[in-house]
Structure 1
């Protein structure tokens, strides 16, 4: 059978091949050298109490990307072989984006005082592919961070799906969470969009959680043997290695441990900006969710929240978080 491609597809693949042919392209060195204050902030944000990084003057390996991220106001010197491919995909209508893979390899610790330099190699563009989110392309690239003497410190393979968001006859629920809440006795039955595009994965490990959400409960997995609570849910207790599982129903209250305000890129089914927070529960675990019913600039660390349950379509209900006084 003869394969036919559109001019748009041919153009995208041509741009991708051109950028891949450039090979590894060096970026500009980091604006700041590896430094103790940033390491201390990272350890605090991650809840990492390992003092050896500060004592030895080395950075946690997972911080490799931190040192060279250009920020929102990127200049021409910050461009990489990836930018032209992503811009072409946006121009072709593939404006949705979701990360699918990120694999990091660490060669050594970055040392305090050295200035890392990134080098990016565009690996390839695969598509068009039909996915649950919409038709799109998988773009893959590799970044290597070099230290003193061009010695590699870390590498990262990153892959994203750039897709054309599906058009729906009804408007999605707004990012402020204005969809009707779910009563404790069960979900609302009002008409919703045909299908909310960002559907969470549900499997045997998480089925109890989503059943609780449908009933207006915030369930936290517990070990049926030692009683340790854990979230996200998993098949085995990290403390005693037991596979026997149970759950407790949380109070549905928490405080903002950390948060981000998402402005860009566009997310199907959402209106930007919106807040994604790590919420610390009094039960001793943390959960990720959207903060709704308040302006993004009103959200802050330590803000008291309560759980609320929003119907995103006729089948999906998501737990979200609202200011406790609202």
Structure 2
């Protein structure tokens, strides 16, 4: 577990709240927690169906769990975990009382030491690993809080999960905020170049022909690293959706519908569903891609959204962010 760090006199003077928060570093957030369920095939199947992951390693008598499911085996649901200490809740309550009432997850890091298999019973310990000093961001001023969870099976460490949030006091904005820019890297640059050209490109493995989205450096079916692209027709159906009400986020106007759209080619992607009010979006609605251009102080941004096909649903109102 992390060691608690001493708080300097300078920190107390310049950031008294931050000094109080630093005292939580190293405190356990959960001790001897246990997963509500053992690793099991139904949850693995549901995960793979939702993610569109057809890797054969995740099914059959010798199946393993997808590594990215690591956190799923520790979730406590609405009832929580018996091993929860209360320190994490106390820290968040202190931030709430200071005006840092908004929260956004910023990133997570996972380390996998061995595969998890059906029947494994996961136990875990969590610690408040770090609390940053006061930070001013575009969202507002607040503090980054990082927890680390160590997962074990039969006492042996099998993985580590770090989860970081920003608890902040929302900034007051006079001018409309720019749309958030997508994170573009070497693995997905081709997709966003296609979007800029008003083309919806899907990766295709040149070995087995499997289509995939989001873009990945290698095929999740056969492992081949070579790929090309096919251009999607842009037609699809709403596979699932959520309606975003809270938290409010600059450049968006809740409530609005965010859909998981299954394209005609078989892959799925996430974007806004527009063309009908948010409360009229339904699973199975036919949609078609539409490229929207946003102009702001940061430049031109093109994003793909999905408009409900005319004649389906109630077409009055955009129902979009």
TM-score for the superposition, normalised by structure 2: 0.69
Matched, 1:308 2:290: yes
CA contact (8 A) 1:104 1:156 kept: yes
| Cα distance between partner residues in 2 of 1:70 and 1:318 | 36
Residues 210-236 of structure 1, C-alpha deviations (whole Å, 9 max, x = no match)? 566567x2331668x999976556789
Structure 1 portions without partners, runs of 5+ = 171-192
Give the 3 Å change call, closer, same or farther, for CA 128–70 of structure 1 in structure 2. Answer: same
Residues 48-84 of structure 1, C-alpha deviations (whole Å, 9 max, x = no match)? 3426644136533332322331235658865654333
| Cα distance between partner residues in 2 of 1:220 and 1:15 | 46
TM alignment of 1:130-279, pairs within 5 A: 130-148=136-154, 150-170=155-175, 193-196=176-179, 198-202=180-184, 213=195, 217-220=198-201, 231-232=213-214, 241=226, 250-262=232-244, 264-279=246-261
Matched, 1:84 2:90: yes
Matched, 1:324 2:309: yes
3-state DSSP of counterpart to 2:133: strand
CA contact (8 A) 1:145 1:153 kept: yes
**How many residues end up aligned between the 2 structures?**
294
CA contact (8 A) 1:61 1:106 kept: no
Structure 2 portions without partners, runs of 5+ = 1-8, 316-321
Which is richer in strand? 2
Give the 3 Å change call, closer, same or farther, for CA 64–136 of structure 1 in structure 2. Answer: same
More displaced, 30-39 or 202-211? 202-211
| One of 84, 104, 111 as aligned partner of 1:104 | 111
1:311 deviates by 5.3
| Cα distance between partner residues in 2 of 1:229 and 1:59 | 22
1:195 deviates by 2.6
Give the 3 Å change call, closer, same or farther, for CA 36–253 of structure 1 in structure 2. Answer: same
CA contact (8 A) 2:152 2:159 kept: yes
More displaced, 251-260 or 134-143? 251-260
TM-score for the superposition, normalised by structure 1: 0.69
Give the 3 Å change call, closer, same or farther, for CA 248–10 of structure 1 in structure 2. Answer: same
* Residue of structure 1 in register with 2:3 after alignment: none
CA contact (8 A) 2:26 2:129 kept: no
Give the 3 Å change call, closer, same or farther, for CA 58–308 of structure 1 in structure 2. Answer: closer
* Residue of structure 1 in register with 2:263 after alignment: 281
Give the 3 Å change call, closer, same or farther, for CA 40–285 of structure 1 in structure 2. Answer: closer
3-state DSSP of counterpart to 1:127: coil
TM alignment of 1:24-35, pairs within 5 A: 25-26=30-31, 28-35=33-40
Give the 3 Å change call, closer, same or farther, for CA 6–109 of structure 1 in structure 2. Answer: same
Matched, 1:56 2:62: yes
Residues 66-109 of structure 1, C-alpha deviations (whole Å, 9 max, x = no match)? 23312356588656543333343344344241323322323342
3-state DSSP of counterpart to 1:56: coil
